[in-house]
Structure 1
Amino acid sequence: MDIEKKNQIKSEEYKALAKARKNLKSKDKKPNAVFDLNPYNVNFFNVWKKFPKKMAFVFISAILYNIAIATFLAKAATVATGVSAIVQALTFTVSSTAPYFAYIYFALNLPLIIFYWKKNSRLFMILTTYWLLWQVLFQSILLIGPVGHTFNKISIFYVNWVSPSRELAYQNSFKSLIPWEAYGSYGTSYGNLFEWIKSNPARNVDGFYTLSNQAANELGYRFINESQFLQLKAFMEIFDKGFSNPTWPIIVYALIGATMAGIAGGIAWKNSASTAGGDFIVYYISRVKQKGVGHISTIVALFFGGFSIILIAIVELIGLSYNRPFNAAGLLLRILCSIAYVFVYTSFIELIFPKYRKVQISIYTKNPEKIIQHFKNIKYWHGYNIAKLIGGYTNTETIKIETFALYLEQSLIKNEVLLVDPSAWMTVTRVHNIIGKFNTSKVES
């Protein structure tokens, strides 16, 4: 047996399917491949044992997505997609809710999880729920003071960064760097710090400045040295004279966020999960219309994103949030970046998760009766052709079973074949187009 075939038999899907088939056989039952929502017999506990790799990728996807949305898009004040956009509308409007993005997102998804639990694949629902729980866990870690502050302090641009070549009385220090903000409300974000600097504080016996409680909460540090104090004071003086906040970071943050979120979404979909929220709607519509996930996701994302953009624009126009002043040029740029985000995000999903791509699978076997009978037992959902071939090298008869399937079904079909004929030989060829109706029920379940 070649290495590739050995790896296939060692795969998580093959092992889980083989065990499920063995259990069915012991109970004298036949599998229902089309309508069985839980062919692998998974639950919240055994999914760790049956699909450890999928769980690992779902964890990576959740962390990546949280960083993309709650950090990069939040810093750019750009809107994400689906239910995430609704959560962002709330966190932008009520700033105090921003650290709890994952909690709010999970709460809004609970009704959807309950509603779709018996309508979608059990593996899909379980892994998507775990995806949400990983987000909550990661967000909880960020709520730890020093961890969250350090994470939020990381930026692609600092407004008080100075060129190292300049000869000044101070140098760049991470403690005294002020991250760029989309709204430029530094007077609000660091109001207590600026007031403390203006009070001309004195250094202690160790040569350090001790910040007031309010100033320390804003900066994230209790003690700073002379160089750090001078760097903060220099920016305060520039800000008081009139500081022009740059807008180019909005574009960079939006592109980074879109790329990370798109990769996270693609990883989740490819590993039988999703980013929840609007993806439940995407999942249903794509099944009914047989359209690619990326295509439907674009439509749903634009709908939810449009709603949130309008809401945020109204909030800024009427001045409901004092630390988010209205700026027409900035708002227009964020709207354009939000639209760009949607297309970049969905493009990555379509690239990583080509749900409705078709392939031709050719099976060469010496035991056709076993494979054909197994196809009948599992109620194989696609048509297939059978042909007799004579091998030119061995001059022996080989049976070729040819079928057309979806790209995402090929692993399952290979596993089903190898269950009854481990010596079967298979080739997979991409098909660019099929005219006519095609059964997609298996990838929907």
Structure 2
Amino acid sequence: MKLFDLNRFSRNYGFLVKIGAAILYSVMIAVALNFFWRPGHIYSSGITGFAQIVNTVTSRYMPFTITTEVMYFALNVPLFILAWFKIGYEFTGYTIFAVAMSAIMMRFIQPTQVSLDPILCAIFGAAFNGIGTGMALKSGISTGGLDILGIVVRKKTGVNYGKFNILVNLIIVLIAGFLFDWSRALYTVLNIFINGRFIDSVYTQHNKLQVMIVTEHPNAIIEGIQEKMHRGITIFHDVEGAYGHTEKTVLLTIIDTYDLYDIRTTVEKCDPFAFMGVTEVQKVYGRFREQEVV
């Protein structure tokens, strides 16, 4: 018998796992920012990158300086409000905690002295942040920023969010080139790419899942799923449960990993007694709309 079962621990102590993951992420991003990105004049992706840009611009051209950690939290506040109304209070609560802890750690975890090659700063900064972000996503929490915007856009439109994320990061790279020099822009590109690879190595958010739902209330579940996500559903009528010999319906669909929370809560709301099985899918052929969230 295993002395420690991580999956069982996650199920029984989900709150502690999420809080621990948020604290780990906050430490990792603080180390990435203060030990590597800031000394190497390298920008992160997304909201963190824009917070760094505001810090650089205000320190250079303004009589006051807005610190990265303050701007990082401030830029997330409108997204907290959006998440509260469009996603859910539990999701928003964990996100606020993760972002607040990150801002605190950015302020207090400071190196004594760092002097590294910019390429090493890009690699190690991306590694620390990528591992921390991957662990947070794997534990079922968001790190704020573009995650929130991506989920809301996907829920409302079903459009490919990856294109928007590429555009945002392209803007950050161009600003890095103008503020410093184009070699720093190249290092920022390297940082963003490696960061994404580390996130994927810890937690691949674009994994496809096959979901099978056995229910006595298929119509309500179908309407709930198609309202929240743009997914096709195959319906198997007139199946029978072996235990009670009652007539049931089987629903079969393919989703992204990020859809799992939505589909689980929808099924629980429409039919608390429904049975749901989830398996990983290696390949998907045919008409399947990619819904990338970064």
TM-score, scaled to structure 1: 0.49
In structure 2, what residue type is equivalent to 1:137?
Answer: I
Report the equivalent of 1:246. none
Change in CA separation of 1:104 and 1:255 when aligned onto 2, cut-off 3 Å: same
Q: Residue 97 of structure 2 aligns with which residue?
A: 130
Separation in structure 2 between the aligned mates of residue 62 and residue 277 of structure 1, nearest angstrom: 14
2:160 corresponds in structure 1 to: 291
**Counterpart residue identity of residue 88, structure 1:** Q
Q: Which amino acid aligns with 1:11?
A: R
Deviations 1:87-123 (A, max 9, x none): 223434528958x422231123223333443123333
- Is 1:428 aligned to residue 279 of structure 2? yes
The corresponding residue for 1:265 is: 133
What is the aligned counterpart of 1:152 among 112, 115, 130? 112
Match of 2:168 among 283, 286, 300: 300
Q: Which runs of 5+ in 1 are unaligned?
A: 1-6, 13-48, 143-147, 156-179, 182-248, 314-330, 364-370, 392-398
Which of 30, 44, 58 is the aligned partner of 1:66? 30
Q: 1:141 matched to which residue of 2? A: 108
Give the equivalent residue in structure 1 for 2:216: 373
**SS of corresponding position for 1:432:** coil
Indicate the residue corresponding to 1:11 in structure 2: 11
Name the % identity. 17
Retained in 2: the 8 A contact 1:83–1:304? Answer: no
Flag the 1:432–1:116 CA change in 2: closer, same or farther, 3 A. same
**Cα shift readout 1:125-156 (whole Å, capped 9, x = no counterpart):** 222211111023323434xxxxx4xx333x4x
Inter-CA distance 117–306: structure 2 relative to 1 (3 Å threshold): farther
Indicate the residue corresponding to 1:33 in structure 2: none
Aligned length: 268
1:359 aligned onto 2:200: no
Could you say if the C-alpha distance between residues 61 and 104 of structure 1 is closer, same or farther in structure 2, counting changes exceeding 3 Å? same
Q: Distance in 2 between the 1:282 and 1:341 partners? A: 21
Cα 1:254–1:50 change in 2 (3 A) is: closer
Q: CA RMSD in A?
A: 4.2
Q: 1:79 aligned to 32, 43, 47, which one? A: 43
Once residues 101 and 342 of structure 1 are traced to their aligned partners in structure 2, the CA distance between those partners, rounded to angstroms, is: 18
Residue of structure 2 in register with 1:109 after alignment: 76
1:105 alignment partner, SS class? helix
What is the DSSP-based 3-state SS (H/G/I as helix, E as strand, rest coil) of the residue aligned with 2:128? Answer: helix
Could you report, residue by residue, the CA deviation over 1:284-331 in whole angstroms, capped at 9, with x for unpaired residues? 4555354365x6433322223323432x23xxxxxxxxxxxxxxxxx3
- The 1:439/1:258 distance shift into structure 2, 3 A limit, reads closer
Equivalent residue, structure 2, for 1:403? 252
Partner SS state of residue 274, structure 1: coil
Alpha-carbon shift at residue 76 of structure 1 (Å) = 1.0
- Summarize the Cα distance change of 1:253–1:117 in structure 2 as closer, same or farther, 3 Å threshold: same
Matches within 5 A, 1:149-188: 151-153=111-113, 155=114, 180=115
Which deviates the most, 108-117 or 73-82? 108-117
Whole-Å separation in 2 of the counterparts to 1:413 and 1:270: 17
